[in-house]
Structure formats: structure tokens, C-alpha cells
């Protein structure tokens, strides 16, 4: 018997069920029947107001494996939401977000999102997490649950305190695509660059890969909405905006003056399994001018967070160019 059948009344009506394949792009669509710590949207499915945040879709079972693609986005509004709720130090720069996606009670994937920084403003960051569900995982309820949260394991020293806490707050779920397998629909390609010295390798990802390492401008302080009556007035808001822009430009100018050279001989790559919290040994098979050839074990239990560190410690977050990684298409 489906969960919740004991709570039905004579006034309940059957919830609409979506057919497969399906693409859900709005939180007002009838197949979106569960939201928890998430605000529904019109052009997007929803935006997280808490950590974790969950959305549930009522779908018709296909009785065969499914491929699920969840599109995430971090924008300026999401950063402001996060800043207003978490209230970080005003001088703290904007750090990357690390979110873990779970479905049907199991961790399925993860994503690293860091907004692209400019002289005057920052751009958005988009990532698509793709995973598969077995034919019997939807259960009798025909309810697909997607949960977004920060990692449930303690991160090691090389990654701790380098991500935003409560990373899911403010994040958008733009769309969820469901395709029965086998499917001819192409898998969305990963982002060109993470914009930070971290990247995520799926549990079923390749055992060997080539990582390109470059540099990007530093992140500015986190924007925050005014909380007092006198700071929310237009003259004060204009002054704060000018000061924030000046600080951003000063940090960018200092970073440009230091140069953007990357020495791969000074780089070390670490790995951690985001499902079990166990360290993942990463073997360096080769070094190029700006590339690293990596080899990882094949018996991974969940998505793997890879991080690049330099000899001499981390770079200054606001006044030095930061490392950025991307996986080169195809194994090394």
C-alpha cells in the first residue's frame, strides 16, 4: 500500500501523474506535488530557502531504468538570499557552493558551483547532475524525490572551510528531465570550468582523466540586503553599492598585478568520497604545462570531490587570482 494511503479522506482527489519521458521546468506544474524548504517558481521549479531542500514529482512508472538530469543554477539573487539568512562576515568573499543531490534516500551526485567574477559584477553558475534510477526504485507511490543539501560527511582539511556553509540555500533548480533507458537523448555536457580549485567526478566516471588548471579573478565580498530602516533607504543603498563595487575593482586590480602563472609542479590533487567520507587516493600519472593526468580507483561508492592545493598554502581569496579546474573531454 502506498505511503500516505492511511491519511486520505473523501475530499481528496487523485494527484496528476506525469508521463515519461518528461521535462519539468516550473514549480506550478501539476506533477510537482511535494516541496520542502523550497519556494516554487514559474520559470524555474523552485529556490531553496533551507538546507536540505526537497522537491517531489508524481510520475508514471516506466518499469525500466530512468535517467534523471537535474539542472542547478547559482545567481545573484541566490547569493543575496544566502547572505541574508546565513549572515556571514561582511569581509568574507563569496566562496564556492558544494551541494549533494539525493534521490529515493541515496546520494546520487554532487556539484560545485562558483559564480564567474568580473570588474563590476558576477555572472551566474550552472551545472547539471545526471544519475540513474533502477526500475523498482520509484516504489508504489510513483513519487520521485530530489533532495539538495550540503555534504553529509565531514570534509578533510584540504576542503574544510573553503566552501559556503548551508550551500543549498538560495540555489535554483531550473529543470528536471526524466528519460527511460535506453534513451537517445544526449547527456548534458559538464560546465567548461568550475571557477574554483574543485571539481566533482561521478561515481561511474572514468578511472583516468585529464584536468586543465588555470586561474580566474578573485571573488568579491558577499552582497547582503540591508536589515535596518536607515540602511534600506535609497541614498544608503547607493553608497553601499559604490563601496562594494570599489572593493571589487580594487581586489581585481591587485589580482591582475600579481599575474596568473600556474606551475603544475607545485600542485597536489586530493580526493574524498562524498557518500562515505573516505579518502580517495589520486595518482598523478603525468604533468603538462597546465594539465594534470590523474588515475583513480574504480571501486567508488559515491561522487568524488577532487581538490587542487598548492605548495605554500591557499591563495589570498580577495586579492589573488584563484585556481580553476575543468575536466578535459575523454580520459587521459
Quote the pLDDT of residue 71: 94
Which residues, other chains included, contact 321 with Cβ-Cβ below 8 Å and sequence gap of 6+?
215, 216, 217, 218, 255, 256, 258, 259, 260, 315
Backbone angles phi, psi at 249, to 5 degrees: -65, -40
> Quick check: helix, strand or coil at residue 309?
strand
How far is Cα 277 from Cα 271, in angstroms, rounded to an integer?
10
pLDDT digits (tens, 9 = 90+) for 228-266: 665 556 676 676 677 777 777 777 777 777 767 778 888
How many Å is the Cα radius of gyration of the chain?
21
Tens of pLDDT along the chain (332 residues) come to 555 555 566 655 666 777 778 899 998 888 888 889 999 988 899 999 998 999 999 888 778 888 999 999 999 888 888 888 888 877 778 899 999 999 988 999 999 999 887 776 777 889 999 999 988 887 667 888 999 999 999 999 999 889 999 999 999 999 999 988 887 777 766 666 788 899 999 988 888 989 999 888 888 777 766 666 655 566 766 766 777 777 777 777 777 777 677 788 888 999 999 999 999 999 988 888 888 999 988 788 899 999 999 887 777 777 788 888 988 865 54
Backbone angles phi, psi at 43, to 5 degrees: -90, -10
| Strand runs labelled E in 75-207 | 97-103, 106-113, 125-133, 143-149, 172-180, 198-201
Which residues, other chains included, contact 75 with Cβ-Cβ below 8 Å and sequence gap of 6+?
115, 124, 172
Residue with cell 544608503: 236
How far is Cα 11 from Cα 149, in angstroms, rounded to an integer?
35
Provide the sign of the torsion angle of the four alpha carbons 303, 179, 36, 104, taken in this order: negative
Quote the pLDDT of residue 91: 74
**Full DSSP string of 222-273:** PP----STTTSSHHHHHHHHHHHHHHHHHHHHHHHHH-----GGGEEEEEEE
HSE-up (13 A, CA, CB side) for residue 273? 17
Extract the C-alpha cell encoding 223. Answer: 552582497
Indicate the length of the chain as a whole number: 332
HSE-up (13 A, CA, CB side) for residue 62? 21
Quote the pLDDT of residue 9: 65
> Quick check: helix, strand or coil at residue 99?
strand
Burial grade of 238 (CB within 10 A; 0-12, 13-18, 19 or more): exposed
Which residues, other chains included, contact 153 with Cβ-Cβ below 8 Å and sequence gap of 6+?
272, 273, 274, 275, 276, 277
Quote the pLDDT of residue 181: 84
> Would strands 172-180 and 208-216 be described as parallel, antiparallel, or unpaired?
unpaired
Residue with cell 586530493: 270
Write down the pTM of the prediction: 0.86
How far is Cα 80 from Cα 87, in angstroms, rounded to an integer?
10
Burial grade of 232 (CB within 10 A; 0-12, 13-18, 19 or more): exposed
In contact, 37 and 130? CB cutoff 8 Å? no
Amino acid at each position: 500500500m502506498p505511503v500516505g494511503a492511511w491519511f486520505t479522506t473523501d475530499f481528496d482527489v487523485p494527484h496528476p501523474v506525469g508521463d515519461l519521458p518528461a521535462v519539468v521546468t516550473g514549480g506550478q506544474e501539476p506533477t510537482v506535488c511535494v516541496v520542502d524548504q523550497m519556494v516554487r517558481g514559474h520559470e524555474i521549479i523552485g529556490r531553496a530557502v533551507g538546507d536540505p531542500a526537497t522537491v517531489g514529482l508524481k510520475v508514471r512508472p516506466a518499469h525500466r531504468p530512468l535517467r534523471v538530469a537535474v539542472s542547478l543554477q547559482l545567481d545573484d539573487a541566490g547569493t543575496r538570499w544566502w547572505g541574508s539568512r546565513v549572515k556571514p562576515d561582511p569581509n568574507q568573499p563569496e566562496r564556492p557552493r558544494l551541494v549533494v543531490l539525493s534521490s529515493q534516500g541515496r546520494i546520487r551526485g554532487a556539484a560545485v558551483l562558483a559564480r564567474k567574477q568580473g570588474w563590476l559584477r558576477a555572472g551566474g553558475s550552472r551545472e547539471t547532475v545526471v544519475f540513474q534510477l533502477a526500475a523498482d526504485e520509484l516504489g508504489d507511490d510513483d513519487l520521485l524525490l530530489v533532495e539538495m543539501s550540503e555534504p553529509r560527511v565531514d570534509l578533510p582539511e584540504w576542503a574544510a572551510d573553503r566552501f559556503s556553509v548551508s550551500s543549498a540555500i538560495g540555489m535554483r533548480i531550473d529543470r528536471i528531465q526524466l528519460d527511460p533507458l535506453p534513451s537517445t537523448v544526449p547527456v548534458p555536457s559538464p560546465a567548461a570550468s568550475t571557477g574554483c580549485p574543485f571539481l566533482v567526478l561521478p561515481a561511474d566516471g572514468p578511472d583516468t582523466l585529464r584536468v586543465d588548471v588555470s586561474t580566474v579573478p578573485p571573488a568579491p565580498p558577499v552582497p547582503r540586503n540591508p536589515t535596518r530602516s536607515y540602511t534600506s533607504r535609497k541614498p544608503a543603498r547607493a553608497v553601499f553599492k559604490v563601496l562594494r563595487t570599489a572593493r571589487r575593482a580594487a581586489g581585481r586590480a591587485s589580482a591582475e598585478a600579481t599575474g596568473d602563472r600556474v606551475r603544475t609542479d607545485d600542485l597536489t590533487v586530493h580526493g574524498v568520497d562524498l557518500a562515505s567520507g573516505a579518502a580517495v587516493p589520486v595518482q598523478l600519472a603525468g604533468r603538462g604545462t597546465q594539465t594534470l593526468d590523474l588515475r583513480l580507483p574504480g571501486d567508488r561508492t559515491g561522487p568524488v570531490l577532487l581538490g587542487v592545493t598548492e605548495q605554500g598554502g591557499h591563495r589570498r581569496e580577495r586579492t589573488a587570482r584563484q585556481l580553476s579546474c575543468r575536466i578535459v573531454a575523454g580520459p587521459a
